[in-house]
């Protein structure tokens, strides 16, 4: 790919990513993508033979960006593994504040809009959810000695994704951070209890 | 409205409700609604002057159905207020099993697809979420003396909606009940801790 090609290719992906996020996949016309990218349809179809191929490119791009744009910056805020999880959740809160509680999680949106229609989307969204949960699970694994032994960390990572996605959805419907904050506060309460339970069990073990 | 009118009106709502749930709003063509309802476009526009008016009718119908089809049948399973909440969540699990983990929550889908585009949808979805949470909060209020005093029951009801919606989303992406079950299991763990905490505080109070 020439530098010029790469620039056109990336511009199409950036514009499609933004428009799919702003208005959804079905509601985004190819003509709008072309106009906003300043690209003609020949160039689009050279790189992406269909709108679905463009969507596939967008989903791949989200996977490339997961660590550098979502997890790494959040993890850099603190060394405490549990706080790193809440730092990721604070990142989504920040996204909500920037958009006045509109738009939500781009992956969650595509998951609900398209999972049943495009097997490719479902597979890629599944992969993105798994990669996100694997990142969160690294934190849980690093905190394993502070959690009660019975806690299934893989399943807890999924629960954390559930809280993020469900909280974002309600924040959009209410146009308010309040339901997101409420959801994260209850997750915090659950963690406080798990960590207290872990401390009590370790105290019992060292006393016994 | 004549009986015939009512039958046409209701048939249009039923078909639109099913199609919006199956494939989303933008992806559902008016011509498909007409074909599946066996109705001509004149009749459609007599009752619903636009596709958006039909969507509004569908959202109003979901509100009418919330208690008779979602909450009442779940609450009828048990008299224990905490178990009534988990009975509602079991109802959504049953919906996932019936659809092989496709389709998800119709309100959550419309929330993510359309909240930013149609203020009417956002308002109606907000109203549906509030009504759902009010139903759940009735259970929490009935169990108030078993929960720690610091628990904000309004916010806890929103957290329960978060768990349902986030769990359903992941179940669809994974085509598996497992993430939904994992999310509900952690919510159960959180409740077990809250109820144990409530018992301990009451024991302290009666001992003191």
CB pairs under 8 A between A and B: 152
Q: Does A163 touch chain B (CB under 8 A)?
A: yes
Mark which residues 168-187 of B lie under 8 Å from A by CB. Answer: 169-170, 172-175, 179, 182-183, 185-187
Mean pLDDT of B30-54: 95
- On whether the pTM is more than 0.95, the answer is yes
Distance CA B59, CA B131 (A): 13
Residues of B in contact with A102 (CB under 8 A): 115-116
pLDDT tens profile B121-152 = 999 999 999 999 999 999 999 999 999 999 99
Q: Does B166 touch chain A (CB under 8 A)?
A: yes
Give residue A208's pLDDT.
65
| Interface ipTM | 0.96
Domain with CATH 1.10.10.60 in chain A: 1-49
Q: Does B116 touch chain A (CB under 8 A)?
A: yes
Rounded to 5°, the CA angle B149-B150-B152 comes to 105
Give residue B208's pLDDT.
66
pLDDT tens profile B172-187 = 999 999 999 999 999 9
Sign of the CA dihedral with B104 first, then A113, B112, and A132 last: positive
**If DSSP codes are grouped into helix, strand and coil, which group holds residue A147?**
coil
Residues of A in contact with B172 (CB under 8 A): 111-112, 115-116, 122
pLDDT, tens digit only, all 208 positions of chain A: 788 888 999 999 999 999 999 999 999 999 999 999 999 999 999 999 999 999 999 999 999 999 999 999 999 999 999 999 999 999 999 999 999 999 999 999 999 999 899 999 999 999 999 999 999 999 999 999 999 999 999 999 999 999 999 999 999 999 999 999 999 999 999 999 999 999 998 888 888 6
Give residue B1's pLDDT.
76
Domain with CATH 1.10.357.10 in chain B: 59-207
For the domain B59-207, what is the CATH superfamily, name and number? Tetracycline Repressor, domain 2 (1.10.357.10)
pLDDT tens profile B96-122 = 999 999 999 999 999 999 989 999 999
Residue B166 has pLDDT above 70, yes or no: yes
Which CA distances in Å does B15 have to B50, B54, B63, B77, B195? 15, 10, 17, 30, 44
Classify domain A1-49 at the CATH topology level.
Arc Repressor Mutant, subunit A (1.10.10)
Q: Does the domain made of A58-207 have the CATH classification 1.25.40.10? A: no
Distance CA A40, CA A44 (A): 7
């Amino acid at each position: 790919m020439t530098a010029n090609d790469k620039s056109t290719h990336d511009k199409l992906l950036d514009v499609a990513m933004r428009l799919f996020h702003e208005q959804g996949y079905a509601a985004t016309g190819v003509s709008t993508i072309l106009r906003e990218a300043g690209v003609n349809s020949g160039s689009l179809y050279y790189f992406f033979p269909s709108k679905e191929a463009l969507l596939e490119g967008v989903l791949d791009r989200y996977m490339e960006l997961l660590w550098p744009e979502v997890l790494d910056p959040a993890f850099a805020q603190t060394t405490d593994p549990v706080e790193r999880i809440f730092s990721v959740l604070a990142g989504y809160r920040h996204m909500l504040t920037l958009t006045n509680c509109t738009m939500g999680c781009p992956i969650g949106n595509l998951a609900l809009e398209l999972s049943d229609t495009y097997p490719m989307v479902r597979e890629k969204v599944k992969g993105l959810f798994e990669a996100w949960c694997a990142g969160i699970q690294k934190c849980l694994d690093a905190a394993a000695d502070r959690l009660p032994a019975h806690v299934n960390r893989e399943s807890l990572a999924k629960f954390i994704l559930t809280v993020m996605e469900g909280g974002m959805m309600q924040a959009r419907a209410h146009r308010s951070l309040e339901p997101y904050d409420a959801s994260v506060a209850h997750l915090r309460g659950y963690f406080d209890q798990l960590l207290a339970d872990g401390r009590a069990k370790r105290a019992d073990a060292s006393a016994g």
